[in-house]
A = this chain, B = another copy of it.
Amino acid sequence: MQFATGCMGNKLVAKCNQSPMRNEEPRSFCPINMAVEVLGDTWTLLILRDMMFAGKRHFRDLLQCEERIASNILADRLRLLTLEKVITKSEDPTHKQKAIYSLTEKGIQLLPVLVQIRIWGAHHMGKIDAVSPAVKAFNRKLERGGPELWAQMMAELRATHLGR
């Protein structure tokens, strides 16, 4: 029990609203499939988006996402991402009850995936007038930037999430 903040008798209970404990065999060992088994749902990538692009690292912040994720789903996804070592959870020194979620190196290396998804989405799904000029400009930058830009962004994430 490394982080026994908060409520509820800490009885290792974990039944409600939770995806399987991820003990099961993967459906196959294809790398794409293994990745999809972690990322392939409606919320996980949005959580990572908010951590990467919006700098959100607290439960309450992540809960405020534009798409209105439910708190039980968020809790479950954070648990799974932690289990998969895409993120880690630690205490916030400034507030006994606050948890800080950080990207691991594994998580940071998802940035190119997110970037490509964003480029594709902006290109093919984007309602032009529904996005602010600033966002549009950043999309263009991402498209032009290429691997070097991603590397730079990943370096920044390493600085803030891994303290390097």
Interface residues of A (CB under 8 A from B): 27-46, 49, 66-68, 106, 109-110, 112-127, 130-131, 139, 146-147
Contacts and interface: CB of A to CB of B under 8 A. Distances in A.
18 contacts: A27-B67, A31-B122, A32-B45, A32-B114, A33-B49, A34-B125, A34-B126, A35-B118, A35-B125, A36-B121, A40-B41, A40-B42, A109-B120, A112-B119, A113-B120, A116-B116, A146-B147, A147-B147
Contacts of A34: 121, 125-126
Nearest to A128: B29
Q: Give how many copies assemble into the complex.
A: 2
Task: Please indicate which of the listed interface residues A28, A36, A113 has the most CB atoms of chain B within 10 Å of its own CB.
Answer: A36
A124 B106 CA distance: 7
B29 A130 contact: yes
B36 A117 contact: yes
A36 B35 CA distance: 15
A34 to B, nearest CB: 4
A61 to B, nearest CB: 16
Task: Please indicate which of the listed interface residues A35, A45, A49, A115 has the most CB atoms of chain B within 10 Å of its own CB.
Answer: A35
A28 B30 CA distance: 32
Given A33-B67, A113-B120, A116-B113, A41 B42 contact: yes
